[in-house]
């Protein structure tokens, strides 16, 4: 997912508003509770000041003064207790709202991702999806659980303190509160000094590190196999080095202004200002020395919530960017589904009518493809790398829709067929295998959760993986990634079993053995031979010697059909297929096992 441009301030505000809409009233309620609590917590400081004024200003006080003293003590203690309870209730309410929002966003994101075209994932790094699904939603915690309550406490304390101090002496009140607006001015200038470009680079740098980590972890088996440890770390190191430069550019303008801003509202600084001006006002006869005490006690009490508010402002800026990325994920266009009842294909013949496709809307990957897959036949797609073979296969699986033309299954446009109906008719085994962190049974039954244990085992036998599963510590209940450590070829056979359990009449094989070693390749070829029996096959061929017996071979060149025919007919044409066959040479016959005379 591309990084969201944070220069659009109104856009960022709208994104945050949309994200917080389900819990905005809960957050407002929490902020009001926190404001009341913040105001009440300051009452004991005012009470101490009043006790000091009462005792020091009225020596030898009468019984009435003593009664007033105990009244001040009682009110102060009750206010402190009530204030702490209200702050606690506000934090509890904010965290409940945050929990509700987090659950809702993750459920909404998961639902959205289940509806987007499968081709959407191929254009994005897994680290980007993880950042939005997990990291960014977690980052919103600072905004929802802490910012509003902290802001409420600060505002409540400021209002209560200002009211009390202005009631005592308006001139000293202005002096005592002056450091706090000065703090906001310096802090605001520091935020502007960062610049939107530095903020964008900072967020992009974090995303790059996420992607580098994910790619390195996923590539560990290849690293071990080929001994390229130093090169494998290079991507991560370059991402970290680049982020260091960005981080310094991001923080350098902040260090001095933030230090100055925090120094302005430090309790000792506020107290120093009050004592200096209080001494001057006393010398001028404007105020009694005893009347300085309320300002010396209450005004520094505002510093703690104000400093906390300033501290979390950076986290709020990060949360704003996270809200934009999460909202962008939630706004991802979904794969259009037919409204109402899904059309039912009449048969399993697949036709491509003048199909073209472009990933970027400008550069065509496929152009003018006309092709028919007749029931019970094997059609092989061959061509040089980048000729559009995998794109063609993914269009049949509706990972995305053609930009021109249409594809029909049993005479029905794929756009009019529900995804569940489509995948009951068309199964697939792709080169890039994905298993979930669950039991072997759950992985095989992913497309048909209601399958019995016997049906799962039968599919595994067809896929030539049953014996390997039974050798695992807990058999079919072994969990992938824990007590089920599977090689790439074994994972591929699990995916074949998954397709066999659905029992589709049409099967798409996209270079299913391209990354397998010799032993696993033979096992996979044997499994595919069983899976292919009685089915319509579309085979994306990596090894030309495996498709010699196909009913039809389609040669793609730069996204167009250059040639088509049987193996023998294409050899007689002496065209592109012959050149591909010649380039394969002896490399195309490394002991591969043909599926059978009717497949590949």
Question: 201 is written with which tokens?
Answer: 């680079």
449 within a domain of the structure (yes/no)? no
**Verdict on whether the full-model pTM lies above 0.95:** no
345 within a domain of the structure (yes/no)? no
Model confidence over 535-584: pLDDT tens digits?
788 888 777 777 778 888 999 988 899 989 888 888 888 888 888 888 86
367 and 301 in one domain? Answer: no
The number of C-alpha atoms within 13 Å of 153 and in the hemisphere containing its C-beta is 28
501 within a domain of the structure (yes/no)? yes
Model confidence over 495-519: pLDDT tens digits?
888 888 888 888 888 765 555 555 6
Residues 6+ apart with CB under 8 A from 387: 556, 557, 558, 559
What Å distances lie between residue 18 and 27, 94, 145, 486, CA to CA?
Answer: 14, 17, 17, 43
326 and 356 in one domain? Answer: no
Quote the CA–CA distance of 305 and 150 in Å, as a whole number: 7
The number of C-alpha atoms within 13 Å of 387 and in the hemisphere containing its C-beta is 20
Domain count along the chain: 2
Strands (E), 394-442: 404-409, 412-413, 426-430
594 within a domain of the structure (yes/no)? no
Quote the CA–CA distance of 569 and 524 in Å, as a whole number: 29
Residue 9's pLDDT is what?
A: 46
373 and 240 in one domain? Answer: no
Query: Of 330, 364, 389, which one is at a domain's C-terminal end?
Result: 330
List the CATH number of the domain containing 585: 3.40.50.300
Checking 383-386 for CB contacts under 8 A at 24+ apart, the result is: 383/555, 383/556, 383/557, 383/562, 383/580, 384/557, 384/580
Quote the CA–CA distance of 423 and 293 in Å, as a whole number: 78
List the CATH number of the domain containing 262: 1.20.1560.10
379 and 296 in one domain? Answer: no
129 and 228 in one domain? Answer: yes
83 and 28 in one domain? Answer: yes
27 and 107 in one domain? Answer: yes
Residue 379, H or E segment: strand 378-383
274 within a domain of the structure (yes/no)? yes
**One digit per residue, pLDDT tens: the chain, 600 residues?**
333 333 344 456 777 888 888 999 999 999 999 999 989 998 898 888 888 877 776 544 456 667 788 888 899 899 999 999 999 999 999 999 999 998 888 888 888 877 777 666 665 555 566 667 777 787 788 888 888 998 898 889 888 888 998 988 899 989 888 888 888 777 777 666 665 566 666 666 666 766 666 666 655 555 554 445 555 566 667 777 777 777 776 667 677 777 777 788 888 888 888 999 989 999 888 888 888 888 888 888 888 777 777 777 766 767 777 788 888 888 877 777 776 666 788 888 899 999 998 877 678 889 999 999 888 888 889 888 888 888 888 888 888 888 899 999 888 888 888 888 888 888 888 777 778 888 899 988 888 888 899 999 998 888 888 888 899 888 889 888 788 888 777 888 888 888 888 888 888 887 655 555 556 566 666 666 766 677 788 888 777 777 778 888 999 988 899 989 888 888 888 888 888 888 866 344 433 333 333 333
326 and 406 in one domain? Answer: no
Question: 527 is written with which tokens?
Answer: 């499994």
State the first-to-last Cα distance of the chain, in angstroms, to the nearest integer. Answer: 37
Determine if residue 574 is left, alpha or beta; phi over 0 gives left, psi from -120 to 50 gives alpha, anything else beta. left
273 and 207 in one domain? Answer: yes
214 and 79 in one domain? Answer: yes
167 is in which domain, residue-wise? 9-60+68-330
296 within a domain of the structure (yes/no)? yes
Query: Of 330, 365, 400, which one is at a domain's C-terminal end?
Result: 330
577 and 515 in one domain? Answer: yes
389 and 308 in one domain? Answer: no
4 within a domain of the structure (yes/no)? no
DSSP state letter for 332: P
Residue 25's pLDDT is what?
A: 93
82 within a domain of the structure (yes/no)? yes
Query: Of 260, 295, 330, which one is at a domain's C-terminal end?
Result: 330
């Amino acid at each position: 997912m591309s990084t969201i441009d944070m220069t659009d301030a109104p856009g960022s505000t709208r994104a945050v508003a949309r994200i917080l809409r389900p819990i905005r009233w809960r957050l407002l309620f929490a902020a009001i509770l926190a404001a009341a609590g913040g105001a009440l917590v300051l009452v004991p400081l005012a009470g101490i000041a009043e006790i000091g004024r009462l005792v020091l200003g009225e020596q030898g006080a009468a019984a009435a003064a003593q009664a007033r003293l105990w009244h001040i003590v009682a009110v102060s203690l009750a206010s402190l207790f009530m204030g702490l309870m209200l702050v606690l209730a506000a934090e509890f309410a904010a965290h409940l709202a945050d929990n509700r929002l987090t659950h809702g966003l993750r459920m909404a994101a998961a639902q959205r991702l289940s509806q987007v075209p499968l081709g959407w994932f191929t254009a994005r790094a897994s680290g980007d999806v993880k950042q939005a699904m997990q990291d960014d939603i977690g980052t919103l915690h600072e905004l929802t659980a802490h910012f509003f309550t902290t802001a409420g406490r600060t505002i409540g304390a400021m209002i209560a303190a200002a009211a009390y101090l202005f009631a005592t002496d308006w001139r000293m009140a202005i002096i005592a509160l002056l450091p706090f607006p000065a703090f906001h001015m310096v802090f605001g200038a520091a935020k502007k000094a960062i610049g939107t470009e530095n903020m964008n680079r900072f967020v992009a740098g974090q995303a790059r590190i996420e992607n580098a980590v994910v790619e390195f972890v996923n590539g560990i088996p290849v690293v071990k196999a080929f001994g390229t440890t130093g090169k494998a770390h290079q991507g991560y190191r370059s991402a970290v080095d680049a982020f260091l430069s960005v981080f310094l550019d991001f923080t350098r303008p902040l260090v001095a202004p933030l230090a100055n801003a925090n120094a302005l509202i430090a309790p000792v600084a506020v107290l120093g200002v009050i004592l200096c001006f209080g001494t001057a006002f006393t010398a001028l006869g404007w105020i009694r020395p005893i009347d300085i005490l309320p300002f010396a006690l209450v005004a520094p009490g505002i510093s703690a919530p104000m400093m906390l508010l300033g501290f979390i402002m950076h986290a709020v800026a990060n949360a704003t960017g996270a809200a934009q990325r999460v909202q962008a994920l939630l706004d991802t266009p979904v794969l259009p589904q037919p409204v109402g009842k899904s059309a039912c294909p009449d048969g399993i013949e697949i036709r491509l009518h003048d199909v073209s496709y472009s990933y970027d809307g400008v550069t065509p990957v496929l152009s003018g493809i006309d092709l028919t897959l007749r029931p019970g036949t094997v059609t092989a797609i061959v061509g040089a790398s980048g000729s559009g073979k995998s794109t063609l296969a993914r269009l049949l699986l509706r990972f995305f829709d053609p930009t021109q033309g249409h594809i029909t299954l049993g005479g029905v446009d794929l756009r009019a067929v529900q995804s569940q109906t489509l995948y009951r008719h068309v199964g697939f085994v792709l080169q890039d295998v994905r298993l979930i962190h669950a039991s072997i049974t759950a992985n095989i039954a992913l497309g048909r959760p209601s399958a019995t244990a016997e049906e799962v085992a039968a599919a595994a036998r067809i896929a030539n993986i049953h014996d390997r599963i039974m050798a695992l510590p807990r058999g079919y209940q072994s969990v992938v990634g824990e007590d089920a450590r599977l090689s790439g070829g074994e994972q591929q056979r699990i995916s074949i079993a998954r397709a066999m359990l659905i029992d589709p009449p049409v099967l798409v094989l996209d270079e299913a053995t391209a990354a397998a070693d010799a032993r696993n390749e033979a096992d996979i070829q044997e499994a595919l031979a069983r899976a292919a029996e009685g089915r319509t096959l579309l085979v994306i061929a990596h090894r030309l010697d495996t498709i010699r017996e196909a009913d039809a071979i389609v040669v793609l060149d730069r996204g167009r059909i250059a040639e088509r025919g049987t193996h023998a007919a294409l050899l007689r044409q002496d065209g592109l297929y012959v050149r591909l066959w010649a380039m394969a040479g002896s490399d195309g016959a490394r002991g591969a096992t043909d599926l059978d005379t009717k497949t590949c």
